[in-house]
Structure 1
């Protein structure tokens, strides 16, 4: 699939605009069917637990860039991870007890950027074995601060997620790991899932006890309109619902409408009515 070119935003927009009204509503019906088949109840899940209290109160090293918006998001990611049993309840103090009893999981942060999500995870939950996957080079990284934490082992993997094989990361061998990511774009999310599941499949096939294995994923996504069919992690599911590649790309373009202004405003409603009249 490496030779398949990405579908541009302009091409996606064009695929939507060329739909007839009948084709548009047929696609909407397929989307509703897919949503119903997934059988997942969509709900808000903002969770802030005591383990991250010092970050919420701003009681952290002032050499670390601190933005309340990002801290609140990161705290909720960790709160959900703890709620789902991926992190020890109670934070770093209880994590230390867990480490004494068994191997604590490593953390692989995909699309890590400067690494501040993992830094909070290390501060609040005592994570010691850290791998940051990022293709770009950044200034003001969290690496220096992380390495000052006693016992922390940190490795940066400067590589595209698409090209990453965790089997080649020797320092991860024999470890459980958590895969995390914040603000991963659509295709990066799919490539992260495929990277982790590929390793899980290989471990099952080889029945090797010395291999690393996935303990859980916690991915906060963004930019769904950038999703690509060639990277999508579950084509069989959509194909089973009669959704083909071109319709998939139209759907990804629809996703941008959710953040495209305030559709509940009177001006927006009047604009939509006007647009509908033109279409008819």
Structure 2
């Protein structure tokens, strides 16, 4: 961080007890507190107000394990032993890339092409394939049913006027997911609820609130790959509920080695809200292939691997297993990957392969990218509310809020120019094609779960006005 003089008009002097280091990039003084008798905070203690090193001060250096923080040079060795960025011993349930799938049939560099490089005839042929495959689905499943449910446990929050529009949309989604779990009778079993991509853990929190008193002995296993602020875990430190969080990427998670799941007879209910792209496939494989099972599974007819003429797969260890139920909302199909995708067998049985998968997953972004306009299309007049209204008017009246914008960034479709060639099709037609691509990709996931003996289905769990990613996978 560079420092400079802070004598410009309008720049306030350092507050009493705060650091006197001027941050040029932010055009203000550092706001960190300082020790008694010192003018600079720990981060800036080795610099003067102009950025020059201070004589006789303990020298601070960048931590070699994490460049985001600094440490006194004379205590570096001690710091490295306790630094949060140090490599820690892996738990027993960490098995590297166990859920990543096979990558021996990846498309070659020559096969990976941009949509813009396809001729009009090639694009039309690809679109025809997608339309034929989607039309080939069971008629009852071709158009996903809209089932917007709720649950009394969230009724008070849903009617609380202090909740803004953004918070209300999240509550409506959580209420519908809990409502579906209740409809399927998954709240009446003593089980371990496994939340994939848990984030703050709000979905598990509401599910716990919805449980009848007789089943308060259930456990919750929240899996997230990075630390999250404002977690709700603290609300469950006391009482008989067991809220446990695993800080691990789900691609490395072996559920069968998690202590909570090693007892025979333990049932698992898997939940997830907007599990992004390939994370859904990683979670499904983790559930179905790393938990202990009994019996055999014969290969389903017509689901041979790519390049094979007959479904002569060897039986694998399976059975209905401990997975009691699944409720995962899907999103970001443009972030799916062929190695992780669990629907390869179905995909290949339809005459599609890695090359088509790469194109279809990119075309899936057409379904949602129209909802996310680049911010530079709206002139910045210095008024946040006016700018927000302008964006809303240009997006069909959809009003944006800070939390929704952050979620949109996290789950943003690429919408790059090379993938937005219209080929004479309107925006509405491209959005419909994007939805068909999502539908084909999701059908592979449904078939995968059915192979394992689960009754899987897709449905819309909220209106598109609540979230455009409104498809729920249940099993």
Give yes or no for contact 1:185–1:223 (8 Å, CA) kept in 2. Answer: yes
**Map of 2:158 onto structure 1:** 56
> Which residue number corresponds to residue 107 of structure 1?
193
- Per-residue Cα deviation, 1:218-262 (whole angstroms, up to 9, x for no partner): 001211110101111110111111111111111111111111227
Q: CA 1:245/1:275 → structure 2, altered by over 3 Å: closer, same or farther?
A: closer
Deviates more, 1:50-59 or 1:109-118: 50-59
Contact 1:177 / 1:216 at 8 angstroms: preserved in 2? yes
Secondary structure of 2:126's match? helix
**Looking at CA atoms only, which structure, 1 or 2, has the larger radius of gyration?**
2
Structure 1, unaligned stretches of length 5 or more? 89-102
- How many pairs align? 246
Equivalent in the alignment of 2:180: 80
TM-score (norm 2): 0.46
* Pair 1:245 & 2:366 matched: no
Query: Which whole-Å CA distance do the structure 2 matches of 1:12 and 1:67 have between them?
Result: 43
C-alpha contact 1:15 1:246 (8 A) present in aligned 2: no
Q: Distance in 2 between matches of 1:24 and 1:3?
A: 28
Distance 1:273 1:35, change over 3 A: closer
Contact 1:13–1:253 (CA under 8 A) maintained in structure 2: no
Q: 1:123 aligns with which of 209, 214, 218?
A: 209
Cα distance change on mapping 1:37 and 1:193 into 2, 3 Å: farther
Q: Flag the structure with higher helix content.
A: 1
Residues 45 and 187 (structure 1), Cα distance of their counterparts in 2 relative to 1, 3 Å cut: same
**Helix, strand or coil at the partner of 2:274:** strand
TM-score (norm 1): 0.76
Question: Taking CA–CA contacts closer than 8 Å with sequence separation of 6 or more, which of the two structures ends up with the larger relative contact order?
Answer: 1
Gap runs ≥5 in structure 2 = 1-99, 297-315, 372-393, 396-419, 426-475
In structure 2, the residue matched to 1:68 is 168
Which residue pairs with 1:138 in the alignment?
A: 228
Match in the other structure for 2:337: 228
Matched, 1:258 2:367: yes
Partner of 1:166: 255
SS of match in other structure, 1:225: helix
Task: Give the Cα–Cα distance (whole angstroms) in 2 for the partners of residues 22 and 254 of structure 1.
Answer: 16
Cα distance, 1:31 vs structure 2: 1.4
How far did 1:132 drift? 0.5
